[in-house]
Each structure stands twice: as C-alpha cells, then as structure tokens.
Chains A and B, each alone.
Chain A
Amino acid sequence: MSALILIELNGSEVNASSRAAITAASKLSDSIDALVLTNDSSNSESVSKLAGINSVKMIVDDSLENVNVEVASKLIADVMSGYKYLVSGSSTYSKNILPRVGALLDVQPISDVCEIKSNNTFVRPLYAGNIMATVESSDETIIMTVRATAFEHSGDGGSAEVEVLSITIPESNSTFISLQESQSERPELTTAARIVSGGRGLGSKENFTLIEQLADKLDAAVGASRAAVDAGFISNDYQVGQTGKVVAPQLYLAVGISGAIQHLAGMKDSQVIVVINNDPDAPMSRMADLVWQTDLFGALKELNEYQV
C-alpha cells in the first residue's frame, strides 16, 4: 500500500505544498516515496533530506526544466505501477498534471483534499469552500491533490536514497517558450503567506496607501473589501471575498473592514486573523484571533513606524 509523492520544486527547494502532501500521505501509508521530475540531478539533495521519505525516484532530462504535461503524465503513469496512492500538494503544477495521469490509468482523481478520514475516504471543498463533502473512492489506485493549508508541512531530517530512473522520455507535441516570473514587489494575493487588507473605514484612496506601506513592511500582499473597491480606493484585482479572490494565508490583517459575509467567505480559512477597527460590533471582530479596537489611522501610523 505504498504512496508516491509528486514533488514540486521551487528552484532547488521543495515547495511547501509538497511538504503538506507528505504529511497527508503519512496518514495513508507507511511507505512513502518521492518522485522528482527535473533537469538537474543535484536537485535531489533537498528532496532526500525530507523526513518520512523512503526513497527518492528521480527522472532527469533537459526537457523537464519547464515540465511538459504530456510528457510528465506519461512518465508518472509508468512509475505508478506498484503504488496505491499518488499524492501532491494543490498547485497549478499538480492540477495540470495529475488529472491527465488519472486519464491514463483510468482513475478518477480527487482534488483539494482537506482531511483524510480513512484509506479511501476524504473531505474536500465544493462551491468555493462553502460546502465540505466527504467522498469515498472505489478506484484501485487513488490520485489526489491536498490543500497546503490543511496539513502540516513536514520538515527535514531524513536521508532517503536517491534512484535515478532510466526511462525514455516520450515525444511531445507542445514546446516551452518562456516563463515570465511574477515581477510584483509584493506576493501574489491568492498564494501570499500574509495579507494586509483594507476596507471602507480608510475613507479615501490616499489613506489606502497606509495599507500598502504596512503590507511592504510585513512582506505581505494587499487585499481589499468590496466596499473599498466600490468606493474606488483600489482596483478590483485586490478584492477578497466571494465575488473576488478566496484566500487562506497564515496571517490576515483586516483594517477598517466591517466584515460583510461576502468578505468573510473569502478569507475565513486564514490561519491567524487580526482585526483593527473602531467599531466593536463589526461582525469581523467575532472572526478574529486578535482585535485591536482603536482609531485606524493612529494604529496604522504606529504599526508603520514600529521597529521590528
């Protein structure tokens, strides 16, 4: 009943979502192997150090630098014989590849698992997380992606053996052209570890720059409530909520947001929620781990000037 983790690398480092996948897989199997598709064999180093891994399978080829889904899915389908589970962290990398592996193995994959109930029963979100479904798979092989926010990130401390697999790289009819890495000074809203979000309480577009300052200080992304967007303080790309982006950062700091349900639906799964507001009755406060009830501008000034 062994499990294979499809590892996603950021450069030579193991992506946090892959670490969550190891934690999830450890609830399913005692024997976990990691699979890495890469162009550089030295990338095995960070993978072999992962705790809880039996062995690292590696396929090395120049074409795997910007991995091609047609190729990757065939390679993974080949490697999967002998494994019961294929687990990866939810990301655009795994969501691109895993369902195609499912098609090749005639398996119905399971997306965004948040909880493991038994060896074939899982909890996953539907309807933008408003509904949680418990689902049971009847497939012989189980393929799934897991939410990085729902499982602990497994650490280092292992010393797994690395096996370089010699597989012929299949032909493909698509080619990589370029990768334009995100240039923004600030992290991207949906994947940011920290978000500073502003509401209509800020009163003006000019005041909203205080939110941006604080975000830069905390290396956080900037978010906004729909009311702030409607009032023209910031563009709609920054809207957090049911009609905007759904986020679940480690830290969500809400300033001057009353907390309409539309907004709460977009950020309720954040790990730590901090609310700075002058209205003690705002619904947002009930959602918060930390509440600072005070004048917004005084608080923002104090936070922006505070020497960390």
Chain B
Amino acid sequence: MKIIIPIKRVLDPYTQARVNKQTEQVDLTNAKMAMNPFCEIAVEEALTLKESGAASETIAVSIGTDKTVDTLRTALAMGVDRAIFIKTESELDLQPLHIGKILANIIKREEAELIIMGKQAVDNDNNQTGQILSGLLDFSLGTFISKFDLSSDASSVEVSREIDSGIETRKLNLPAIVTVDLRLNEPRYASLPNIMKARSKPLETIELDSLGIDTSPRIKVISVVESGTKDRASKQINSAEELFSELNQMGVL
C-alpha cells in the first residue's frame, strides 16, 4: 500500500504574520518558513505505518516555487521514501480547489490508496483541501483524526475524529483520505544524519504547467490588514456583587 502525504511550506507558526506596507500583502520576505505543523503529524503517522510493515512506500508531495524543496527535504529527512515536487514558476495564489485537482492528478498516477494530510495549513486556515480532494477522487474521508488503526487486511481504517460534540469513531474503506489533528502523535525530529542522507533520496520535479490544470483564482484577495488588539473601555468595579450585576446586564451569565 502506497501512502501519499501532501505537505505545505508555511510561515513558521511562531513568527508573527505582518502586512508589508508597500506590497499590501503578508510579508514573507526573509521570513522563517517551516513545514505546516499538521503536515508534520501526517508525516509521522505515515512513517509509523511504514515501520509497522503496513505500508510499502511513503511519498511526500508539495507544490510551490524552488524553496518548497527545503520542506520536501525535511520530510525525506524525517524518513519519507521519496518526494514529488510540483514546481510553479512564481508564487501563485493556489486555492484548495486547485491544490485538490493537482493532488488528485498525482494520486491517480501513483495509484495511492491512502492519503494522510494535515487538517489545515496555519497560513490560510482554510481547512478544506483534504475534504475537496476526497470529493474529487470519491475517496472515503475522515477529518480531524486523533486516532488511526489500519485493519489487518489493510482494506479499511478505523479513525477517531475530534468533533465539537466529542470523539466520533468511523470505519473508512480504502481508498481513503484522512486529515490529522494535533493529538494524533508527536512528530519526530529530522536528525542531522538523516538530513545528510535525505540529500540522496529521490525527488521528482514536475512542472505545474505540464499537468494542464486551470489555476486561475476563484477567490481574489482584495486586501489584507493586521487585526491587532483594541483597547476597551475598562470600567472599574470593586466587588463581586458589582461584577455579577454588570455581567447579568451584559447577558453573558
């Protein structure tokens, strides 16, 4: 069984996103970039399956300009077998629907049966790509998973989903797509020896244009602003009684 792990390079989640005054876009110049943390969890889960003998091959896929190769090398250093780099000539505003179509193309070509990916990327926070991909491929779908068990005959997986009302457990027949949540596992480090070894692992480059997918934006970003924090009225109170009466008036109790 082949596993494909689509991954994304994003602004490091510990870095403050800022709007560049001149370009009026989120400023990524010289910013620290990293693998989306949910993607790291997806990679870890795929590696665990490979190590247990359940998977034959793990393949990381990412889309972007040349810098994206760094993120794919990180996945290779963590232990993924090979990588597919979908190269774009410039920074494109690719949206989940486009990404879904690109990934669907690769998944069909590779005949992969299991797709493990992050539930969302921490830059655009869409939380859509896995769902869209499942619709395009008509694969079964398990979103927000915190537990993953492959059946012994590798025909289905049992997943626990973290939903608002609790934990839902479902059985998904393969082929399937799962999107992972934070509590699924703790991703391993890319160790220095493995980073060195990752340099010689296979990385295939495919020009996006060669796939013939329409990537014209469906959604145009008109403007971005930093939300900041606003100061509030800060009314002084002096007793529990006063506090409860204010809160009652505000209707929040």
Contacts and interface: CB of A to CB of B under 8 A. Distances in A.
A128 B235 CA distance: 29
A103 to B, nearest CB: 3
Contacts of B129: 99
Interface hub of A97, A129, A173 (most chain B Cβ within 10 A): A173
Contact of A250 (B13, B16, B240, B252): B252
Interface stretch (B54-62, B63-71, B106-114, B221-229): B221-229
Contact of B164 (A66, A91, A264, A303): A91
Contacts of B102: none
A272 B235 CA distance: 12
A95 B127 contact: yes
Contacts of A291: 234-237
Contact of B244 (A91, A121, A308): A308
Contacts of A51: none
Contacts of A308: 244, 253
Given A111-B128, A292-B237, A179 B165 contact: yes
Interface hub of B131, B220, B224, B238 (most chain A Cβ within 10 A): B131
A290 interface: yes
Contacts of A81: none
Given A126-B17, A302-B240, A173 B143 contact: no
Interface in B176-210: 176
A181 interface: yes
Interface of A: 10, 66, 68-70, 73, 91-93, 95-104, 106-112, 121, 125-139, 172-183, 188, 191, 193-194, 218, 242-243, 250-251, 261, 264-265, 268, 271-274, 285-294, 299, 302-303, 305-306, 308
B131 A292 contact: no
Contacts of A138: 217-220
Given A92-B144, A101-B135, A251-B252, A125 B227 contact: yes
B231 interface: yes
A308 B161 CA distance: 38
A100 B220 contact: no
B81 interface: no
B33 interface: no
B226 A179 contact: no
Given A133-B223, A177-B158, A177-B170, 13 more contacts: A70-B140, A93-B163, A99-B135, A103-B97, A126-B123, A128-B125, A131-B17, A175-B170, A193-B252, A194-B252, A250-B252, A287-B229, A294-B238
Interface of B: 11, 13-14, 16-17, 19, 26, 95-97, 100, 122-129, 131-136, 138, 140-144, 158, 161-173, 176, 217-227, 229-241, 243-244, 246-247, 250, 252-253
A208 B144 CA distance: 31
22 contacts: A66-B168, A69-B134, A99-B131, A102-B135, A106-B97, A125-B227, A126-B125, A127-B26, A127-B123, A131-B225, A136-B219, A138-B219, A174-B176, A176-B168, A177-B170, A179-B166, A251-B252, A268-B229, A287-B232, A289-B234, A299-B240, A306-B241
Contacts of A182: 165-166
Contacts of A130: 16-17, 226-227
B112 to A, nearest CB: 16
Contact of A264 (B229, B246, B250): B229
B235 A290 contact: yes
B132 A99 contact: yes
Contacts of A288: 232, 234
